[in-house]
């Protein structure tokens, strides 16, 4: 019998919605304490990802035909093997837009308003105000990688009366932005911005896109926020830019090496906010959106119109 394996995370109500969408299929909901290999071997569809998907479900002769990732970023998945096996892959683009954009804006405010420094001072009971404070209103934010998350960052930035520059591969207009630049004008956007929000996926073109020369064109008063992928930034160059005052500070949710080593210099920098790659974490709302995406895609998959799957990954582009 055709089998769908959903890894842990869905509520009973969400499980019922999946069953309703595929009443003629066997649907297995994985357990937090582990799911038997047999179900990975039998699965035609897998929602989610864990080590067993690669170890068991991607073997020769696999029955697997479609994986719905619960993450927007899929660079950590074995894309070449998935493509070789002829398996469809859809990501969760758009699902985490609200939570990631809220993290980005929280970092912007935490740095500009001195909140990050105040939290550090609170631990040692030091009454001290930063030498300078900034405001979001009237400032310019450059959103690099203006997809679904970028649109949401832009919407929030507009609420603070900010000027919004969107940097998009296509250069196509975006109603939420005041101006759109294509990637050839990235440096122009960096020169104008008081806040740079990086939301880029990791591809061959974006790896280490942010390096010393890029930080050098930014304002010395500007803040760099990374909620995209860690390897889009050359960490050593960012460290140097922060140490030398080339830029004012950074808010980082993603890193080239994760977990970030305990002895890494970034931990101790007073002008840096770090979060443990949880901007897109599975909040209640994110789980609801992801369940709706999967149920919607499941109906499309079962209809045979797989080319119409939402967020279908192009293995050549790696997103």
Same domain, 68 and 160: no
Same domain, 102 and 146: yes
pLDDT of residue 131: 85
pLDDT of residue 318: 87
CATH number (domain holding residue 195): 3.40.50.720
Same domain, 149 and 269: yes
Cα separation of 137 and 169, whole Å? 27
The residue annotated as part of the active site, out of 96, 98, 151, 229, is: 229
Whether residue 317 lies inside any domain: the answer is no
pLDDT of residue 282: 80
Domain that holds residue 170: 97-274
Counting as low any pLDDT under 50, the low residues of the chain are none
The residue annotated as part of the active site, out of 96, 98, 151, 277, is: 277
- Is 258 annotated as catalytic? yes
- Is 277 annotated as catalytic? yes
pLDDT of residue 8: 86
- Alpha-carbon distances, residue 140 vs 134, 136, 270, 284 (angstroms): 12, 8, 23, 32
Whether residue 315 lies inside any domain: the answer is no
Same domain, 296 and 259: no
Same domain, 71 and 102: no
Same domain, 134 and 44: no
Give the model confidence (pLDDT) of 238-261 as tens digits.
999 999 999 999 999 999 999 999
Q: What value, to the nearest 5°, has the Cα angle with vertex 146 and ends 287 and 282? A: 15
pLDDT of residue 16: 97
Same domain, 32 and 124: no
The tally of domains found in the chain comes to 2
Q: Kindly state the DSSP code that residue 53 receives in the 8-state scheme.
A: I
Helix axes 97-112, 284-303, angle to 10 degrees: 150
Same domain, 216 and 134: yes
Cα separation of 38 and 60, whole Å? 15
Whether residue 314 lies inside any domain: the answer is no
Same domain, 31 and 8: yes
The residue annotated as part of the active site, out of 258, 289, 305, 310, is: 258
Q: What is the pTM of this model?
A: 0.91
H and E: helices and strands count for the chain: 11, 12
pLDDT of residue 109: 97
pLDDT of residue 238: 98
Whether residue 203 lies inside any domain: the answer is yes
Same domain, 56 and 188: no
Cα separation of 131 and 110, whole Å? 15
Same domain, 232 and 124: yes
Same domain, 103 and 80: no
List strands edge to edge, sheet with 3-6: 26-29, 3-6, 43-47, 66-68, 88-90
């Amino acid at each position: 019998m055709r089998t769908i394996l959903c890894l842990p995370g869905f509520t009973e109500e969400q499980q019922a919605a999946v069953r309703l969408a595929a009443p003629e299929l066997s649907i297995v909901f994985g357990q937090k304490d582990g799911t038997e290999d047999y179900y990975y071997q039998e699965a035609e569809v897998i929602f989610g990802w864990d080590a067993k998907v690669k170890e068991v479900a991607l073997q020769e002769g696999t029955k697997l035909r479609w994986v719905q990732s619960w993450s927007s970023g899929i660079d950590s998945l074995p894309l070449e093997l998935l493509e070789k096996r002829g398996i469809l892959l859809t990501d969760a683009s758009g699902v985490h837009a609200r939570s990631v954009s809220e993290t980005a804006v929280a970092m912007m405010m935490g740095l500009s308003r001195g909140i990050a420094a105040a939290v550090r001072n609170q631990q040692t009971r030091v009454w001290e105000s930063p030498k300078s404070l900034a405001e979001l209103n009237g400032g310019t934010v450059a959103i690099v990688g203006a997809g679904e998350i970028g649109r949401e960052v832009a919407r929030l930035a507009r609420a603070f009366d900010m000027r919004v520059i969107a940097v998009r591969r296509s250069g196509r207009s975006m109603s939420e932005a005041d101006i759109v630049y294509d990637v050839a004008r990235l440096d122009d956007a960096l020169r104008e911005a008081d806040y740079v929000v990086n939301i880029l996926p990791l591809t061959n073109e974006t790896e280490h896109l942010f390096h010393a020369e890029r930080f050098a064109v930014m304002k010395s008063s500007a803040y760099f926020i990374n909620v995209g992928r860690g390897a889009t930034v050359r960490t050593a160059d960012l460290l140097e830019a922060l140490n030398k005052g080339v830029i004012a500070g950074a808010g980082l949710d993603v890193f080239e090496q994760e977990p970030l080593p305990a002895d890494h210099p970034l931990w101790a920098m007073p002008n840096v906010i770090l979060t443990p790659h949880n901007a897109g974490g599975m909040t209640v709302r994110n789980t609801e959106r992801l369940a709706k995406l999967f149920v919607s895609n499941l109906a499309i998959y079962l209809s045979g119109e797989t080319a119409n799957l939402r967020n279908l990954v192009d293995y050549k582009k790696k997103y």
